[in-house]
Chains A and B, each alone.
Chain A
Amino acid sequence: AQKVTQAQTEISVVEKEDVTLDCVYETRDTTYYLFWYKQPPSGELVFLIRRNSFDEQNEISGRYSWNFQKSTSSFNFTITASQVVDSAVYFCALSEVSGANSKLTFGKGITLSVRP
């Protein structure tokens, strides 16, 4: 069975600090997809990124960057120069190809607080 572990439960940083959110996954499949979502206080989950298992290139989008390493089954998320608006719960999720369904397995989330 697939599993996603987000060992950090809460992180608090001061504005402008860099912060890395860890995600470790378990799967038996060779083809799978990894996702990060942001959940601000309003509650809606906002899609941030999708990465397939064959693409290990790191991705950068503005202040956000993602480091995917199959050797350690990790898909970590770094926010550079954090801002108060980054305060949210961040979820990592895994989707396997087996079967015809797009079924996501979520980690328990990391609550990030960015203080001014």
Chain B
Amino acid sequence: DGGITQSPKYLFRKEGQNVTLSCEQNLNHDAMYWYRQDPGQGLRLIYYSQIVNDFQKGDIAEGYSVSREKKESFPLTVTSAQKNPTAFYLCASSSWRGASDTQYFGPGTRLTVL
């Protein structure tokens, strides 16, 4: 089945550690996105990528890093520089780089910093 997978579903991290969240899609989509969701808040864009080996910062990129070495994969690293990393992280993809394009989302990863 085509879709977006994120792993792990739950992730626990100690303060000061970097952690990488996985996002894979087999929809043959060009664009991929990372969002952060906090309780009672909408989604905020962290990073997005339109093509392989290229990505742009979103609204809240500080403390995060990404890579796009393959079309299917867009991993997100939460670094120790991120002051408040506990949140729900959602990955999305879309087939075309236009405003009309519909983004489809993965199941999310819930990160908790202990």
Contacts and interface: CB of A to CB of B under 8 A. Distances in A.
Interface of A: 4, 9, 31-33, 35, 37, 42-47, 50, 52, 91, 95-104, 106-109
B102 A4 contact: no
| Leading 10 A-B pairs by shortest Cβ distance | A106-B42, A45-B105, A102-B101, A43-B108, A97-B99, A95-B99, A44-B107, A106-B43, A108-B42, A33-B100
Interface residues of B, number: 29
Interface of B: 31, 40-45, 48, 50, 56, 58, 88, 90, 92, 94, 96-108, 110
B48 A44 contact: no
B42 A107 contact: yes
17 contacts: A9-B40, A32-B99, A33-B99, A42-B107, A43-B88, A43-B107, A43-B108, A44-B107, A45-B105, A46-B105, A95-B101, A100-B97, A102-B96, A102-B99, A103-B48, A104-B45, A107-B42
Contacts of B103: 47, 102, 104
A84 B101 CA distance: 30
Contact of B106 (A44, A96, A98, A99): A44
A108 B102 contact: no
A32 B99 CA distance: 7
A31 B101 CA distance: 13
Contacts of A97: 98-100
Given A50-B100, A102-B94, A91 B105 contact: no
